[in-house]
Amino acid sequence: QKEVEQDPGPLSVPEGAIVSLNCTYSNSAFQYFMWYRQYSRKGPELLMYTYSSGNKEDGRFTAQVDKSSKYISLFIRDSQPSDSATYLCAMSALRNRDDKIIFGKGTRLHILP
**Binders of another protein in range 79-98 (CB under 8 A):** 88, 90, 92, 94, 97-98
Contact residues for 76 (Cβ-Cβ < 8 A; gap 6+) = 18, 19, 21, 60, 61, 83
**Cα gap 65→74, rounded to integer Å:** 9
Among 3, 42, 71, 80, binds another protein (CB under 8 A): 42
Confirm or reject binding of residue 111 to another protein (CB under 8 A): no
Interface contacts to another protein, rule CB under 8 A: 8, 32, 34, 36, 41-46, 49, 88, 90, 92, 94, 97-98, 100-101, 103-106, 108
